[in-house]
Amino acid sequence: MNTLRKLVHGARSGRSASAERARRAGRAATSLLFVAVLSLALVWHFSGRGDAACALSSAEPRAVAERTELEPDERRTVELFRSVSPATVNVTNIGLYRTSYWDMDVTEVPQGTGSGFVWDDDGHVVTNFHVVANGSRFKVTFANGDTFDAAAVGVDPDSDIAVLKVDAPSDKLVPLQIGRSSDLQVGQKVYAIGHPFGLDQTLTTGIISGLNREIRSKSDRRIRNVVQTDAAINPGNSGGPLMDSAGRLIGMNTAILSPSGTSSGVGFAVPVDTINRIVPKLISGTDVERPGLGVTINERASRFLRAGGLIVAGVESGGAAARAGIQPPRMRDNGDEVYDVIVGVGNRQVRSMEELRDALDGYDIGDEVPVSVRRDGKVETMRVKLQGVAAQRR
């Protein structure tokens, strides 16, 4: 019996030892497999295959970006910029300055830059008057960097409009499509192109923030029906086009309202209807006219005599004022001089030439307006049909 027990116990011990040896062999095989896989990975990486895999991985995001489609609104904006960019130019104003106080030698010095746009196939470029003011000659640079000399054709300081003529090949002259400003609406999208701070062509977008604004021109005259926009306009944008979503010209960027001198989201553009009325006259050499009465005023005597208005020093024969009954100075039988004094236009008092111009700028040529005239101590109201008066050229 004891012998049988020993045999059974020995058999069991043998099986346990065999199982333990098998488990150890399995763990060793697993470790060897792990080491082999790791070694292969390292060899694969350092042999350059890993770099190829990394390059492939890094290329995948670029491929995805290339396949990404622009939104319809983005595509329209991109196409608009591409189509109008050739028509938008940079204008450099060059002035003449004496090199010293003691001699008469002069040198040309760039004294400012702005923007502009091609008006027609003849090479006329429209910009702001304040961009070209006091310049002796000008240079126009197109979108591709080509630069050409330009000469001033005509200016209208009262509306801050100037026309240059550039000597450029016909293939450079891509005129903008002219729109209208009479039917603009607050809230519609607008696009401005220019060269702010001397940078290359820059596109900014926004909306029409307001209509029928008034701003002062360089000659201190009021510019009426100005378009207000929140599209960023900065120094250098002056003279550049403001366009609607179809790429049509609706205004010329002219001024900003900003204490810091940079865009604060309040920019102003001369309306295209004003531009379209004045530019052809400047090109043809025709006088630009403003609504007037057909009178000459002695402002100095008006102030000296404290007339409380403007003394009429002369009346144009057959003019608007003469037809309405306004009279020039005249002598009474006793030798006293009698003169008419204009004290009001419409519902506005006028005591200076500036106030008279501002009052008349609220009307158009041909409008019939009430003009208040003091004569012999009594104020009479006369209906005057306004005539065109040539604006002062500077």
Give the sign of the dihedral formed by CA 329, CA 330, CA 336, CA 340.
Answer: negative
- Whole-angstrom Cα distance, residue 208 to residue 268? 10
What CA–CA distance (Å, rounded) separates 327 from 338?
10
Give Cα 317 to chain centroid, integer Å: 44
Yes or no: say if 196 and 236 are a contact pair by the CB < 8 Å rule.
yes
How far is it, in rounded angstroms, from Cα 234 to Cα 240?
11
CA distance 265 to 234: 10
Give the other-Cβ count within 10 Å of 50's Cβ: 14
Residue 14 burial (C-beta neighbours within 10 Å; 0-12, 13-18, 19+)? exposed
Known catalytic residues?
130, 160, 238
Helix (H) or strand (E) holding 37: helix 2-46
Q: How far is CA 101 from the centre of its chain?
A: 39
Q: What is the phi-psi region of residue 311: left when phi exceeds 0, alpha when psi lies from -120 to 50, beta otherwise?
A: beta
Cα→Cα distances 116→16, 19, 152, 153, 192, Å: 98, 94, 13, 14, 11
